[in-house]
Structure 1
Amino acid sequence: MVANSTIIPAFLVGWIQIVVPGDCFDEFFVKFNFLHVPCLKITISKCLGFAIILGSSIVKLPQVIKIFKAKSGQGISLVSVTFELMAISASWAYGAGNNFPFSSYGEAIFLAIQTGSIAFMILFFSGKHMHAVAYMSIFVGSMAFLLSPAAPKELLATLQAGNLFMVVASKMLQAVANVRNGGTGQLSFVTFLLLSLGAVARVFTSIQETGDSMVVASYVLASVMNGLILGQILYYWNVPPPVVVEAKKVK
C-alpha cells in the first residue's frame, strides 16, 4: 500500500509501480531512499525487461524487410530458423505457464511472430506455397496448445530444458551454412546486433526476476551464439553473393 506522503500524483502511481513495484515504491518516493540496492536492481531489471520487449517488436523487421525486398531467403537455413522458433516458443510457453512477470519473457511473443514470418517467407519465396501455409498452421496450432491450461507443466519444463540444445543447434546450423556458402546471404547485421545486445541484457533480468537456472543458461548461450553469427556477418561483409550460372540448353 502506498503511503499518502508520496510526491507522485495519484494518477501516475499505478503506472510507476509497473517498474517500481511494492515496497520499492515507498523506498524511492516516500522515504526518498534512492540508493536502496535491492530496489535499484529490481527497477533496473524491470526497465531493461520492458525495453527489451519494446525492442523485440521491431528487432527482426530489418531481416523481414531484407527477405521481402529480395523476394528470397537465400543463405538463410530453414532448419536453423525452425530450431530458433522452437526455442523462442518454448520460452514463451514456459514463462506464461509459470506465471513469470511479463517483463521477463514478453519479447518471446514478438520474436516468435517475426521468426515465424521469416520461415514462412523462406518457403514461400522458394515456390513452396503450400509448405509455407502448412508450416504456419502447425506453429499456430502448437502454440495454442502450449499456452492452454491443457499443457502439462512437465512438458513446458522439458521444452525449456531443450532450449539449450535448440539455441546452440539453430545458430551452429546457420554458422555452418555461412561457411559453406562463403557468405551470410540475406542475414541482417542490425537484427543480429540487437539480438546479441538483448540476450546479454536478458541474462541480468532473468537472474533478477525469475532465478530460473535453465532460463539464465539459455540466454547466456544465446548471447554467445548470436555473437558468433554477428562476427560472421562482419567477416563476410564485402563478400558478394554467389552467382548462379544457368546451364545452356542443348538444342
Structure 2
Amino acid sequence: MNSTTSTYNAFKQIALLVLTPHCFDTYFTDLNFLDKQCFAASLSKGLGIGIILGSVLVKLPQIMKIYNSKTAKGISLTSVSLDLTVISIYASYNYLKQFPLSAWGDTAFLAIQTVAIGFLLLYYDVSVLKAFAYLITYLIFVVILVSGLVSIDVLWTLQGINIPLLLAGRIIQVYANYCNGNTGQLSAVTYALLFLGSLARIFTSVQETGDTMVILTNVFSFLANLVIVGQIAYYWKGEQKIKKIK
C-alpha cells in the first residue's frame, strides 16, 4: 500500500508539471478526457515546457558555425543586439509580472545564446576588448531590468517598443542578406527552430498570459522569423543550382 501510494504521489508530482490540480483530478479521478479547457491548458503547458527544453540548444548550431569558421561574416551585429534587447525586455517583463515560467522561460536561454553570438562576432571580426565590453554592458543592462529599478509600467511601455525593435532587427538582417546575395553564417537549423518556437509561443502566450503586448510580440516574432527562413531557403536553392551547373 505504501509503495502504491508513493508511486501515485510521484506520478502526480510529475503530471502537475503539465496539468493543473483541477485538470489532474478531471483526468485521473473523474476519468473525463474530453474536457476542452483542460486539453487547451495541458497542451499549452506541454508546449511551453517543450519550447524551454528546446531553447537550451536552439542557437547552438549558430554559435558552433561561428566558432568553427572563426568568423560571423554576414551576421549583423545591430540585428543581434536589437534581438537581444527584445528578448531581455520580454523576459524581464514576464518575470516581474510573475507569469508562468512555461510561458517565457525559453527567452532566458535564448538571451544567453544571443549574447554569445554577439560576443563571438566582435571577438573574431572586430576586437577582443570590444567583445568583453559588449558582454559586461549587457550584464549590467539585465541586472537593472530584473532588479526592480525599472518599474513594471516602464517595462510595459518597453514591451510596446519591442515590436518595432524586433522588426528593425530582422529588416536589417534581411537587407544585409539581400546585399550580400547570401545568408552568410546564418544557421538554417537555428532559424527553423526559432520559427517553430515562435509559432508555438503564440498559442502559449494566449493561453497562459492573456497579455496583449506579449501576444503581439510573439506574432511579429513569428512573422519576422518566417522571412529569414524564407531567405535561407531561397539562397540555398540558388547555391544548389550553381553547384549543379558547375
Quick check: TM above 0.5? yes
Secondary structure of 1:31's counterpart equals coil
The answer to whether the aligner puts 1:228 opposite 2:227 as a matched pair is yes
**Larger helix proportion of the pair:** 2
Residues in 2 aligned to 1:231 and 1:170: alpha-carbon distance in whole angstroms = 16
Q: Is the 8 A contact 1:97 1:156 kept in 2?
A: no
Q: Which residue of 2 aligns with 1:128?
A: 127
Give the C-alpha shift of residue 115 in structure 1: 0.3
Q: Which residue of 1 aligns with 2:32?
A: 33
The answer to whether the aligner puts 1:158 opposite 2:157 as a matched pair is yes
Segments of 4+ in structure 1 off by > 2 A? none
* Ranges in structure 1 where 5+ consecutive residues have no aligned partner: 1-5, 241-251
Q: Which residue of 2 aligns with 1:185?
A: 184
Partner amino acid for 1:105? W
Aligned length, in residue pairs: 235
5 Å-filtered alignment, 1:63-212, equals 63-212=62-211
Residues in 1 aligned to 2:191 and 2:126: alpha-carbon distance in whole angstroms = 27
Give me the TM-score of the superposition, normalised by structure 2.
Answer: 0.92
Residues in 2 aligned to 1:10 and 1:77: alpha-carbon distance in whole angstroms = 51
Residues in 2 aligned to 1:63 and 1:42: alpha-carbon distance in whole angstroms = 33
Residues in 1 aligned to 2:82 and 2:96: alpha-carbon distance in whole angstroms = 21
Residues in 1 aligned to 2:143 and 2:14: alpha-carbon distance in whole angstroms = 30
Q: CA RMSD in A?
A: 1.5
Q: Which residue of 1 aligns with 2:22?
A: 23
Give me the TM-score of the superposition, normalised by structure 1.
Answer: 0.91
Residues in 2 aligned to 1:217 and 1:127: alpha-carbon distance in whole angstroms = 35
Q: Which residue of 1 aligns with 2:244?
A: none
Residues in 2 aligned to 1:236 and 1:18: alpha-carbon distance in whole angstroms = 42
Give the C-alpha shift of residue 147 in structure 1: 1.0
Give the C-alpha shift of residue 121 in structure 1: 0.5
Q: Is the 8 A contact 1:88 1:108 kept in 2?
A: yes
Q: Is the 8 A contact 1:80 1:171 kept in 2?
A: yes
Residues in 1 aligned to 2:77 and 2:239: alpha-carbon distance in whole angstroms = 22
Give the C-alpha shift of residue 234 in structure 1: 1.1
User: Could you tell which deviates more after superposition, 177-186 or 152-161?
Assistant: 152-161
Secondary structure of 2:119's counterpart equals helix
Q: Cα deviations across residues 37-59 of structure 1 (Å, max 9, x unaligned)?
A: 00000000000000000011000
Give the C-alpha shift of residue 239 in structure 1: 3.6
Give the C-alpha shift of residue 173 in structure 1: 0.5
Q: Which residue of 2 aligns with 1:213?
A: 212
Secondary structure of 2:107's counterpart equals helix
Secondary structure of 1:18's counterpart equals coil
Secondary structure of 1:58's counterpart equals coil
Percent identity, aligned pairs only, is 42
Residues in 2 aligned to 1:17 and 1:138: alpha-carbon distance in whole angstroms = 39
